[in-house]
Amino acid sequence: MCGRMTMTHPNDAMARLFEAAPSNDLPPVPRYNICPTHPVAVVTAGQGGRRLRPMRWGFVPQWYKTPTDGPLLINARAETIAEKPAFRAAVRARRCLVPATGFYEWTKDDAGNRLPWYFVPKDRAPLVFAGIWQDWTKGDQPMTTVAIVTTGASDWMSATHHREPVRLAPTDWARWLGETGEKAAPLMQPAPEGYYDRWRVDARVNSNRAEGAVLVEPLAA
């Protein structure tokens, strides 16, 4: 699963990394507690080339009469994405890259308290998730929305959570975006063992109003 993430890399650096034209209304960075319904910068591809553009995190199917007409779809399961009515058209034609710096997952202690963990690539390179997107046009304010694709966790990740976001290597970006004509389904795999570092962080990140670099600092023993 992926329910919270961070983005601290500058938008102009991300645009250069992906060779994408940046929109003028990208969300400001750094951000240490990106939550569902927040805007995120997403890379799409089309006839005009790649774009780095903002989208609302939380996929809204076209048949929703309002953005809250059904469950908040922040993730799409790789195992069923091609069959689910909400996602099947998007995974064929509207795949995207969701850049991040890291993400959070939670465990629980014996008393049921939620204990947050922060995950980052060991090399601290930008993290890129597989995403799908959808324009929603039913309301007075149309929006473009995105979900992050998840898969079953690796053995290492499963100590924290049974799901993990699909991470894409740089060599896979063009394929996921549909630029190579190759099937993208084989890319929906857990990250290689040893790819991530993780550490406990303070429970203040449990609040969706919390922000700041202190949220990702390792918890003192």
Tell me: cis bond preceding 30? Omega within 30 of 0 counts: yes
What pLDDT score does 179 carry?
97
Please tell me the predicted confidence (pLDDT) of residue 122.
97
In tens digits, the chain (221 residues) has pLDDT values of 679 999 999 999 999 999 999 999 999 999 999 999 999 999 999 999 999 999 999 999 999 999 999 999 999 999 999 999 999 999 999 999 999 999 999 999 999 999 999 999 999 999 999 999 999 998 778 899 999 999 999 999 999 999 999 999 999 999 999 999 999 999 999 999 999 999 999 999 999 999 999 999 999 76
pLDDT at 142: 87
Structure tokens at 53: 């553009």
CB within 8 Å of 216: residues ≥ 6 apart: 6, 32, 102, 118, 201
Tell me, what's the pLDDT at 164?
97
Q: What is the pLDDT of residue 141?
A: 82
At 139 the pLDDT is 74
4-216: CATH number: 3.90.1680.10
**Would you state the pLDDT for residue 148?**
98
Sequence length of the chain is 221
How many CB atoms are closer than 10 A to CB 182?
13
Number of H helices, E strands in the chain: 3, 13
pLDDT of residue 138: 86
Structural domain spans, the chain: 4-216
Buried-state track 70-101, b at ≥16 Cβ within 10 A, e below 16: eeebbbbbbeebeeeebbeebbeebbbbbbbb
Q: How much is the pLDDT for 151?
A: 97
Say if pTM beats, i.e. exceeds, 0.85: yes
